[in-house]
Amino acid sequence: MNALEGMTALVTGASSGIGRAIALRLAQDGARVIGADITEQVVEGGPPLAEPLREISPESRFARLDVRDHEATSALINDIAAREGRLDLVVTSAMVPGGKALPETDMAEWLRVTSVNLTGVYVTLHAALAQMLTQAPRGTENERGRIVNIGSQHGIIASPGSFAYGVSKAAVLQMTRQIAADHAQDGIVCNSVSPGKILTGKTGPAVSETALAYSNARTPAPRLGRPSDVAAAVAYLASPQTTFINGHNLLVDGGWMAA
């Protein structure tokens, strides 16, 4: 349970849903976690993050962050490095949903989705990688840092009626491959986790009776996913067991993409 002891991790989009579950799981596994989000308000997934995070790990904390803001993101990462000595892990979980096909995706909708799902990931990784490359290698594999990007099965197959969302998630998976190929020699390990249908507690059309019936029929597993399933996959890719896994996209979908 202390596989991540001594590691410092930044998780974006940490207030709700999958990001919240990831932040809490990494803390349970021994990491000092900075859970960052644009708001402390919980959209889905339980009470506000700060208190349960501190209960697990008194050294962990919540930080307010808009991932679209390059200066603020760089400042937070610099602050983490100054306080903790280094940044060992970054998980890019901040996202917004999209629900329009291309003809209905005007510039405002395109920017609303991609400013977080694509540019926000770029901003976070740009600042995080700059810090990691200055850090001394450590461990038997001489690692400087790890990255786990949160993608989606809809970055691999089409996201029906959600043009900007699908395109943005496909780009995140390409970022993962690009960073792994460019920086493995520098001691950087970069992978992604792509969830299938995950029940986070959100409401709306995505969890309508019709949508859930389709997802259950489409998923070979006898249940749909939970945020804890995604968090477990992230913890695995953050652990010392996975030093030779780099540039990989781990599906957490109950077999959806295999069927």
Catalytic residue (one of 122, 165, 214, 236)? 165
Rg (CA), the chain: 17
Residue among 227, 205, 195, 199 nearest 14 (CA): 227
Tell me whether residue 122 is one of the annotated catalytic residues: no
Q: In the block, which residue shows the tokens 């999209």?
A: 98
DSSP string, the chain: --TTTT-EEEEES-SSHHHHHHHHHHHHTT-EEEEEES-SS-SSSSS-SHHHHHHH-TT-EEEE--TT-HHHHHHHHHHHHHHHS---EEEE---------GGG--HHHHHHHHHHHTHHHHHHHHHHHHHHTTSPPBTTTTB-EEEEEE--GGGTS--TT-HHHHHHHHHHHHHHHHHHHHHGGGTEEEEEEEE-SB--S--SGGGSHHHHHHHHHH-SSSS-B-HHHHHHHHHHHHSGGGTT--S-EEEESTTGGG-
Calpha distance 51→97 (Å, rounded): 27
Active site residues: 165
